[in-house]
Structures are given as C-alpha cells and as structure tokens.
Structure 1
Amino acid sequence: MSTVLVTVTGHDRPGVTGELFTALATHSVEVLDIDQAVIRGQLTLGVLVRTPESAEPIKADVERAMRSMGMTVRVGVDQPEDEIRRSATHAIVVLGRPLQATAIGELALRFGTLGVNIESIRRIADYPVTGLELTVSAPEDDALRSAVIDVAAAAGVDIAVERIGIARRAKRLIVFDVDSTLITGEVIEMLADHTGTRSKVEEITAAAMRGELDFAESLRARVSMLAGLDAAVLDQVAASLVLTPGARTTIRTLKRLGFRCGVVSGGFTQVISHLVTELDLDFAAANTLEVRDGRLTGRVVGEIVDRPGKAQALARFAAQHGVGLAQTVAVGDGANDIDMLSAAGLGIAFNAKPVVAGFADTTLNQPFLDPVLFILGISRDEIEAADAADGTLRRVPLE
C-alpha cells in the first residue's frame, strides 16, 4: 500500500475539487484526510489517499486534470500515515484592532518552544475587531495558557484559550454585569448627578471595583447620598442608558442559538427593569432602592447583591433553566464580579480592573461586546448571515 499526498494551489473556482476527485476515482484509492482553505480567492487543497496500485499513474492523471483547470499541483508519495492528523486539544481566539503580524509571529514562536502544533487557522471576524481562531495540539495546558498570557500582554491583543470538546459547544446561559459592561456608564453615578454628590460617589465606586472596599458597605455609603431624590429620576436615568457597542448584536445572536440571557448587577432593579424589557432578557438580579412618598430614602431593601450574591444569582438562574454551571458564561469588570466569573464555565473579564483579570478564564480589552461571540466560536459571517435573513444587518462605522 502506498500513501499519496496531493496538494493543489491556485485561483479558486467551481469544479476544481470535482476534477481532482474524478481523476482519483479512476484508481483504487481510499481517502484518508482532506483539508481546504481559501484566502482572498486563492485555494490550497490537500488530499491524502492510500492505494494498492503504483502511485505513478495516479500522479500523472492528477497532474493532467489540474493543469486543465489552470492549477498548480504537487504530488508526494509514501507519506507516513502516523502523521495524518493530530487531535487538536485547544481553540485559541486572537483578537486585535488592528491585529498586527507581530502578535501572531510571537505566538507561533512560543508555540514552537512548547511543542504546540497549529492544526488549523481561520479568520473568525473582520469587524469590529480582527479575529483569528487557531486550533492547536498542546502537550501541556498550563504552559500553553501561561505563554498566551505573556504574548497577549506584550503584543496588546486579546487571546482566549478553551479546550476543544463538547463543553465548548454546550454553553447555554450567559449573565452580564451591567455597569461598565452591558452599558457604558455607572447608574449610581448618574443618579448622584441629581444630588450633587457625583464626585464622592465616583471615588467610592472606583475603590469598590478595585476591591479596596467591601461592596455592601460601599453600596450603602453611596446610596445614602441619594436620600431625598425624586423617584421619577430613576425612570429618567433608565431612559438615558447607553448600551455598550455590540450589546444588542451579542444578545440577539445568543438568543437565536437558544441561550438564556440575563443580567446580574450591583445596581438597581428600578433601572435594570428597563434593560430587561428592551433586550428581552430572561432574568435579572439587582438591588432595590427603598422609596417612600415618591422619594428615595437613601437605603436599599432586601439582600444586597454583592460579590457572593452575584455568584449565587448565577447558580440560581442556571438551576431554574436546567443548565449546569459548566454550560454558563459570565461577563463582568469589577471586583464584585470575581466569584461569578470564577463559578461560570467561562468567565470573561471585560475591560476589567487588574485584580479581576486573574480570576477570569480570559480577558477582553475592547470597547465592544461582539467579541464575546467570537470567543464562543461564532464567526462574524454567521452573525451577519442571520441578521441579513431577518433584516437587522448593519455595520456602524467605527471611530
């Protein structure tokens, strides 16, 4: 038995693969492996076959068929079968705006020193960031992740690593933090604008998000500064919320795939309820401001949704929908998100404070939420094909 590797390159056009296999079909060959890539209209097609015949007639027929199509062909004989294909162990998504060759080169060099082999590469996004998805076979998980962290920091790109397997495709529930994650601002600071205490509130919020203050205590201190505020301001602030770019696309796409989508926030139910309605979310957990005689009392009622409370809310929502924690995704930016990010099957730190990033599975340092989809293996082409089908496709010009 001989093995024959046929590699075809040239301008992609209909019929190339058909002509190649028509030539192969005249011989007793067994197909062992096949790979194809098209980049900007240029085709590279590789086919590995095994045959009990002499390889020379196969080579001659294949070369003649491909020349007739204007293609270049290379035929190798007696390829070692034990190198047919390795099993990929990890999916790596590299995101940049722009994505420089330096980042890919440095990543590939580090892979070489670790014995990590790149099995395939595909472009997964061209908007609003450039994204590549690499599948690799890696002998050691921790060494791979450590190298990725180093390269991402040095090259200024985002790199997500996930093990390949059914678990990656089995995510079914996602929760977002709200302030500075699903929306661009901080609700409590917007409310404080109406009481003249914004600067004090901002100072406390920043310290709490860095993990320097207990969240529950910081929340009570900030809410106390809102005492006497007309409750009608809550609706005004809710109406002025600005979604993070890509938020609608992300939630719309995930709901098409059957995801349960929700928010878990240290903010306030009276404001969050507007987002739940606007985005058709499946659940929400947040704090409730006490209102008496149409004005805020400066207190919250019920249990505070703090750092442990966020993780508990994630677990509660997952249980309600029959979804295991391994099938959940959490996205957040502050220290009060740490337990939630750690508990989820995939925790994504979104433009997060340094103390948070170390507890997440991956970080995303882009001003868009769409890349959450790319990390999950959903391509921009797939997103836009679905949007085009229901008339929601549009690309907003980037600054």
Structure 2
Amino acid sequence: MSDQMPETLLLTISGNDRPGVTSAMFRTLTRAGVEVLDIEQIVLRRRLILGILVTAPRDWKRLRDAVEATAADLGMHIEVDRGIGDNKVRREGRSHVTVIGAPLRAAAMAAVAGRIADTGANIDRIERMARYPVTAIDLHVSGAHPDRLRAMLSIEAATQGVDIAVQPSSLLRRAMRLIVMDVDSTLIQGEVIELLADHSGHRTEVAAVTESAMRGEIDFEQSLRDRVALLEGVPASALDEVYDALVLAPGARTLVRILRRLGYRFALVSGGFSQITDRLAEDLGIHYARANELEIVDGVLTGRIVGEVVDRAGKASALRYFAEQVGVPVESVVAIGDGANDLDMLEIAGLGIAYNAKALVQQAADTTVNVPYLDAIMYLLGISREEIEALDLEHGVVTPAPPLG
C-alpha cells in the first residue's frame, strides 16, 4: 500500500486476555487525539480479539509505532490496517438468524453460512447466546429479505438437524411483551385428555384421534366432542390425579420466571380443559388462560363441553383479546404451539413458533424449535443464557454449573 494519508486506521489486537489491555490501548490513542468510529471486542477461551476503528491523525505512522509499542509491552499481537472512510452503511434486508443445535456441528454452521452467501447477504456480526444445554448462535445478517433467507435456511435446518429462526431486525424484537402458549405437548409433556382417558379405559382410542386432530386430518371441534364423550362417568377427582401427574416441559418455569421479571405477560390458550389450565396458570404465575370447560354433574364428568369449543379460530380470537387486554399489537405477541389447531394464532402473532410440532405446523410457522427446552425460545428474543443466569442470581436462584469446555 502507498504511503498516502489514510482516512482511518483499523487496529486489531489479539492475545491472551488480561486486565488493562483495552484501557492501555485507549491511553495511547488519547495522546494522538483521534476519534473512535467503531469498537468490537470478544473473548474466546481467554483469548482476546479487540478491533478499534479510529480516524487517522496527520502523523499516522507515529501513532502506528506507538500502538505497536503498547501492544508489545502488553505481550499482545497487533495489526494496523489503513483505509478510506468508516464502516459501510448496513444494507437493506437486515435479519437475525438464530441457529440452535445440540450439538451444533461445524458442518451445520458451514452450511448455514453458505446458504446466506448464496442469497447475496452478508454476516455482519456473530454472538453466542448459549453454550449449554444447547448451543445457540445469533447471526446479524444484511442484504437479503428475511422471507428469502427463511425459505433457504428452513431446508438447511432439516438437512443439518438444527433449528434456525429468521426474524427481521427491528425494535419489535425488543418490544414483545405477551407470550401466548398452547398447553398440551407444549407447556406440558403429553396430552391431558389421554391421561383422563386412562380413567375410562379409552386411552388408546382417544390418543389415536388426538394425533390425527393435531396433524390437521380431522375437524378439531368434532374430534374433541367425540373424545370427551368417552370420558363420561369418570369421577371429577380424576382431574386432581391428572394434575398431580403433569410434567412441565424442561425450561418452562425458567421461561416464565425470567420473562415475567422483564415485564412480559403470559397467556395460556388451550384446546384442553380449564379445570387444568386455570390451575397451571395460578401455579406458574401466568396472567390469562382460556380453555374448554368439562361439564361436571354430581361429581362426575358427563362427557360434554360447557359453552363454545376453543378450536383453531378460538385460539386466534383469544390471542387478539389478550393482546388488547395487555395493550400491545398482535405484532408484539409471541405465540407457541405444536398442533394444527395452533396454526391461526401462530400466523397472526408477530413471532409464531412451532415447538416440537407436527410437520404441517413446522412448515407453516415463522420458525421452529425442536430442542426439548422451552426456555430456548428466549434466545430468539435476544436473551442469552449468561443474562438468564445473572438475573436469576440477583434473585437468589442458583443454576447448576455448566460443563467445562
């Protein structure tokens, strides 16, 4: 490169991390009177990489010599690159691409980066959101429409066996304040109606119909009425036994606990039964719940539903109602579900997430999460595992130490 006067200098410092590296470099830069245009710093396994973009002083060679001397005193390596102008302005089509794997293999990241390049987009920044119990990486991408990225990366996600979420980069990602969740096979493991059917001797029959309804093969309302009819004669006390046997999805309590502290509101919208969902809402601190009500007469289930059935359209209607109650637009709602009766609410929400969902739902939703941890959804909201643990620690909740590595 010629010795003509550059407009900017990019300093890239690397080496073993230690206290005082950043402050020492800026003390040297202070003496040169330069302006700071950009800074990026990361630490990987105690290895520091620090990038500083500054305006070039008239005697830029003297500054180069000074920062090289400072780096040598610190035992660090430094490169000084001359250039013209500031960083390029970010192009249109900005997205967050979140990749989640358990494990996340190099081949998967190579494939994701390759597909992003194929669209003509650029990866501007990469952040780690979590390293256990899953690895989650957030890529800041510019230069391609999010819909185009989503279409290409959804194919790669299936091929590589990872979850990939593509969201437009906007302030709405930070402003989502209502989480609307399905219950059966989402918030909890399994289906309540099948557990109740154990008490009537019809579990196998009910399970087959439930599976077909969740795949969207049969009408949900009629299938629900048919299944509930098989519960006729079951004592109402069975509801208590079923509730006591429920198993929450891993990470469910963490998801609710952390996001409530951040001001989020929660709602349960279920094609199941209010006798269960209302108790779940109370126990978990969930603000709203809507579900079907089982008719009970003289302490026994009649095999009928009271009132209108909460079906696919009913779930979407409930989401709109709860958003109105909270005072947010539907674009600021995150909806989470797994079955065909969740499709309408996933579609109208600002972010619709198919959580360990049927194939039909995964194809239709904005994004999918197939790892068995409900709190992984927080990574899609820009919240890292480290931030989750730090907030918990402030409130006296200590999480187990992560594995070494």
| Shorter-chain TM-score range | over 0.9
Q: Is the 8 A contact 1:2 1:53 kept in 2?
A: no
TM-score between both structures, scaled by the size of structure 1: 0.97
The TM-score, its normalising length taken from structure 2, stands at 0.95
Q: Give the Cα separation in 1 of the matches to 2:151 and 2:298.
A: 56
- Choose 254-263 or 384-393, whichever is displaced more: 384-393
Matched, 1:117 2:116: no
Q: Secondary structure at the match of 1:145?
A: helix
Letter of the 2:60 counterpart: A
Q: CA deviation at 1:123?
A: 1.1
Counterpart CA distance in 1 for 2:312 and 2:376 is 25
Question: Residue type matched to 1:17 in 2?
Answer: T
Shift in Å, 1:122: 1.4
- SS of equivalent residue, structure 1 residue 150: helix
- Deviations 1:72-96 (Å, cap 9, x if unpaired)? 001112x132544536811111100
1:234 alignment partner AA: L
**Counterpart in 2 of 1:336?**
341
1:151-300 aligned at under 5 Å gives the runs 151-300=156-305
CA distance in 1, matches of 2:81, 2:402: 48
Tell me how far 1:164 sits from its aligned partner.
1.1
Name the structure 1 match of 2:382.
377
The 1-side partners of 2:401 and 2:279 are apart by 24
1:267-295 Cα offsets, whole Å, 9 max, x none, are: 00111122111101100000000111111
* Distance in 1 separating the partners of 2:287 and 2:145: 38
Equivalent of 1:63 in 68, 85, 110: 68
How far apart are residue 138 of structure 1 and its match?
A: 2.3
The percent of aligned pairs where both chains have the same amino acid is: 51
Q: Deviations over 1:4-59 (max 9, x none)?
A: 11110001111111111111111131211111111111111111111341210010
The code of the aligned residue for 1:197 comes to: H
Q: Secondary structure at the match of 2:390?
A: helix
2:385 counterpart letter in structure 1: R
Q: CA deviation at 1:168?
A: 0.8
Match of 2:90 among 67, 86, 90: 86
Letter in 2 for 1:176: M
Task: Give unpaired runs (5+ residues) of structure 2.
Answer: 1-5
Q: For the residues of structure 2 that align with 1:128 and 1:270, how far apart are their CA atoms?
A: 33
Number of residues of Structure 1 aligned to a counterpart in Structure 2? 397
Q: CA RMSD in A?
A: 1.5
Q: CA–CA distance in 2 between the matches of 1:73 and 1:306?
A: 62
Q: How far apart are residue 127 of structure 1 and its match?
A: 2.0
- Amino acid in structure 2 at the alignment position of 1:388: L
Q: Distance in 2 between matches of 1:397 and 1:38?
A: 18
Hey, what does 2:151 align to over in structure 1? Answer: 146
Shift of 1:178: 0.5
- Give, in angstroms, the shift of residue 148 of structure 1: 1.1
Deviations 1:326-362 (A, max 9, x none): 1101100000000010111100001111111122110
Question: Which among 3, 9, 18 is matched to residue 14 of structure 2?
Answer: 9
CA gap of 1:33–1:85, structure 2 versus 1, over 3 A, is: farther
Amino acid aligned to 2:49:
T
Structure 2 residue aligned with 1:393:
398
Decide whether aligned partners of structure 1 residues 288 and 332 sit closer, same or farther in structure 2, where only a CA change above 3 A counts.
same
The whole-number CA distance in structure 1 between the counterparts of 2:365 and 2:401 is 30
2:145 & 2:260 partners in 1: Cα distance? 35
Structure 1 gap ranges (5+): none
- CA gap of 1:69–1:82, structure 2 versus 1, over 3 A, is closer
Contact 2:146/2:167 (8 A) holds in 1 = no
Q: Write the distance in 2 (CA, Å) between the matches of 1:139 and 1:301.
A: 50
Residues 313 and 170 from structure 1, CA distance in 2 versus in 1: closer, same or farther, beyond 3 angstroms? same
Q: In the alignment, residue 24 of structure 1 is paired with which amino acid? A: L
